[in-house]
Chain A
Amino acid sequence: MSDHKRTKILMIEDNATHRQMYGLQFKQAGFEGFYTASTGQEGLDLVRKDHPDLLLLDIGLEDIDGIEVLKQLKADSSTADIPVIVLSNMREKDKGEQAQQLGAVDYMLKAKYLPREIVERIEQFLTSHTK
């Protein structure tokens, strides 16, 4: 777990409560490099500036749809290699398949997992990804 202390994880999420909740859970799990953006545009700017190790992306964003954010990141060679995990409450059937076709590594329905479980799953991903 301590390996991930310096891992930069950016979450793009429009819901303030969700940002706070996940933020707290990640911080408590030792992810000191966890930070958030509340709109698609802010998220894109931060990704380009910081080049995070992992992006947690919501779909139902108000300014730019999460799918569009994903497309833009994958089309840009400087950001295309950043792994993206989609974290949304939209039905997987509607958006999950599309997101994975566009290059997202995983799709998680927020309502199905507790914040703790999400953190655990991401730890697993990072462990297998960095091996």
Chain B
Amino acid sequence: MLGIFSISGLLILTTSVLMAVFMFFQGKRWLNVMWGTFCISVAFWGLGAFRIGAISEPGQALWWWKFAYAGVIFIPVLFTHFVYIFLGISRRWSIYLFYTLGVFYLLANLFTNFFIRDVRYIFNEFYYLTPTPLYTTFVVFIFLGLVIYTHTLLFRAYMNSRGEEKRRIQYFFLATLLGYLGGSFSFLPVYNFDIYPFLNLTVALYPIIMGYAIIRHRLMDIKIVLTQLFVLVLLAVILFQALVAPLGSQEQLVNVGVLIAIITVGILLVRSVMKEVQQREHIEGLYTELREANEHLKELMNIKTEFLQIASHQLRTPLTSLRGLLEMQATGGFDSLPAEERRKMQQDMFGAANNLNNIVNDLLDAMELEGGKLNFTWEQVDVSKLIQEAVDTLMPSYEKKGLSLAYNKPPALPKVEADEGYLRQVFLNIINNAEKYTEKGGLTITTTLKPGRIEIAFKDTGIGIDPEELPKLFGKFVRGKKSALVHTDGSGLGLFIIKKIVEEHHGSVTLESEGIGKGTTVRVMLPLKQTKNNNHVRP
């Protein structure tokens, strides 16, 4: 008949193997693999204890003790490695050292008698091992030493963690309390403290809780785990009583009856717990979704406020000019002015209307681009021709300011799969922008063919950009401090629109400037072909 020690071994073996298989099936994450391997080392102890508890011959018992310790030796080492991975600690030398020591004790265990030499008969039940000096060094330095070390690391991490991570470490502590504390009772009879290792039973729960914590770390609280543990312990005790009661006795019948009742109630309880867990998970999921939606809403509110603040100002300024000047003209306010001044006022009106038109167009473009519902017409576009056309269109405004506008046309360039209309807008915007912010010199455009893409560099000798401002300039309504001084009517949307269009082409756009007064280079990268999996090309 099986004793408690043997039964505990069987339970440990079962749960460890099941958990190891489970962990390996969870995917090849290091943490899962590590815990699966750890469970195998515990399974060695389980199988060993199961056999030791049932053997009445010292030679065989000794063999099984050596077998069991082939696993036990690696329990603390693998646990340490696991904790390192979990906490993201990289102390390679120490891990190598622990594994080396593990291998050393393993070899000593398997091939010499320095580690395990003798067994003695105790509890009138089985043969227990007796210590050797080498065995004691293992217990003190490896087992106790590493357990204390790893738990210190975990405790420190626990103190510095929050939320789910904190809960996860709580599970670890619960698991190791059951595992190591229960398991350590098995060391007592080795050193003649003849207390029956009942608590070895708890080792069976250890892999389960840990595996659970690793995989479903945010699932339920400790109370529910404890409920499940309670049922399992109750089952184990009744099973034991049923097994030790005289065969066919009334006591055994009662125990079997109680066992069946507990199993039934246990299944119902566990099912209800699972249901509760699923509900809780569902609620947690809803909560997360709600929180994310709320964050998104807040972001939209901020964008709205930002839009109202800036767009309203940008729209009102030309409207104020237009409305005011028209009213003055209509009520004879310009009548007394000389013809030249009158014309100037009319030019101002046209300028304001033009500016308003540009801002409204930019706003609509930005909204359309941001909404992501673009109707692109993909065709083979001659980029070189498109740039030349943009250059020809804007040449008069460059000449008017005495600026140069040069396009270094390469001999031949392959066509690019793009939307011609949107791409034209990008080139016109960049060239137009450069003119606004350049007072001396001009703009040079260069196209270069690179593997699978075309690079277009627009290098001007304008006011340049403060390096600190560079990362921000592609945002909506963002204008460089210096640029706002030079050109007061910009919408702050130009670069945002350029970037959006280029990104829709799976390309990229970057701004380079060595600083204020040192000019700016806008670099546009466009892939030659648009494929489904086209990642954005980077310079």
Contacts and interface: CB of A to CB of B under 8 A. Distances in A.
A15 B319 contact: no
Interface in B479-508: 481, 484-485, 488
Contacts of A90: 309, 312-313
A33 interface: no
A71 interface: no
B321 A17 contact: yes
B316 A15 contact: no
A91 interface: yes
B327 interface: yes
Nearest to B325: A21
Interface stretch (B86-94, B96-104, B344-352, B370-378): B344-352
Interface string B334-360: 001100000011001001100000000
Interface string A22-64: 1011001000000000000000000000000000000010110
Interface stretch (A76-84, A110-118, A122-130): A110-118
A114 B488 contact: no
Interface residues of A, number: 23
A98 interface: no
Contact of A18 (B308, B313, B320): B320
A91 B312 contact: yes
Given A62-B485, A63-B485, A114-B323, A21 B328 contact: yes
Contacts of B320: 18, 89, 110-111
A111 B315 CA distance: 10
B361 interface: no
A114 B319 contact: no
B317 interface: yes
Contact of A62 (B316, B327, B352, B488): B488
Nearest to B324: A115
Nearest to B335: A28
Contacts of A94: 309
Contacts, number: 67
Contacts of A110: 316-317, 320
Nearest to B486: A62
A20 interface: yes
A95 to B, nearest CB: 9
Given A17-B351, A18-B321, A63-B485, A115 B313 contact: no
Contacts of A28: 333, 336
B331 interface: yes
A20 B320 CA distance: 12
Q: Which of A20, A25, A109, A111 has the most CB of B within 10 A?
A: A111
A78 B190 CA distance: 95
Contacts of B348: 17, 20-21
B193 to A, nearest CB: 78
Contact of A17 (B312, B313, B352): B352
A22 B308 CA distance: 25
B309 A15 contact: no
A18 B355 CA distance: 14
B92 to A, nearest CB: 56
Contacts of A63: 485
Contacts of A17: 321, 325, 348, 351-352
B366 to A, nearest CB: 20
A89 B312 contact: yes
Q: Which of B319, B324, B325, B331 has the most CB of A within 10 A?
A: B324
A15 B485 contact: no
Contacts of B336: 28
Contacts of A109: 316
Contact of A89 (B313, B484, B488): B313
A25 B321 contact: no
A15 B320 CA distance: 11
B312 A62 contact: no
A24 B342 CA distance: 11
A111 B322 CA distance: 10
A32 to B, nearest CB: 15
A25 B325 CA distance: 10
Given A14-B488, A62-B484, A114-B324, A24 B333 contact: yes
Contact of A91 (B308, B321, B323, B337): B308
Interface of B: 308-309, 312-313, 316-317, 319-321, 323-325, 327-328, 331, 333, 336-337, 344-345, 348, 351-352, 481, 484-485, 488
29 contacts: A15-B317, A17-B321, A17-B325, A17-B351, A20-B345, A20-B348, A21-B321, A21-B324, A21-B345, A22-B324, A24-B337, A25-B324, A25-B328, A28-B333, A62-B481, A62-B484, A62-B485, A89-B312, A90-B313, A91-B308, A91-B309, A91-B312, A91-B313, A110-B316, A111-B319, A114-B324, A115-B328, A116-B328, A116-B331
Closest 6 CB pairs of A and B: A89-B316, A111-B316, A115-B324, A17-B321, A62-B485, A110-B320
Given A17-B321, A28-B336, A63-B485, 19 more contacts: A14-B488, A17-B352, A21-B321, A21-B324, A21-B328, A21-B348, A22-B324, A25-B328, A62-B481, A62-B484, A89-B313, A91-B309, A91-B312, A91-B313, A111-B316, A111-B323, A114-B323, A115-B328, A116-B328
